[in-house]
Amino acid sequence: MPARTPAGELWLYADNEAGGFAPRVRIATGRQTYAALVGVCDLNGDTFGDVLARDTAGALSRYYGTDEGTLGARVKPVRGGGSTPR
């Protein structure tokens, strides 16, 4: 589960497989421009959790998790946000 500080640091709270959380790990900085962040399951089938983010302008970004416990480069799969299917 990701969590963000007001300073824009993104921390990962991973499952410790005993009903709790492992020690937190900082996985990114500079994320204060996002209005919403959500940790999602594995979107690309590599077994690492991924993150979706929406900025204040409504643009959606995707970050694939890496085997090093960090996030890969930002990809903008959808422009303009919104919830109306096309």
Nearest to 53 by CA among 20, 75, 70, 83: 75
CA distance 63 to 44: 11
| Residue where the block lists tokens 């890496």 | 66
Domain ranges of the chain: 2-78
pLDDT of residue 86: 46
Report, as ranges of residue numbers, the positions in the chain whose pLDDT lies below 50.
Answer: 85-86
pLDDT of residue 83: 57
Q: Within the chain, what is the greatest distance between any pair of CA atoms? A: 43
Q: What percent of the chain has pLDDT over 90?
A: 5
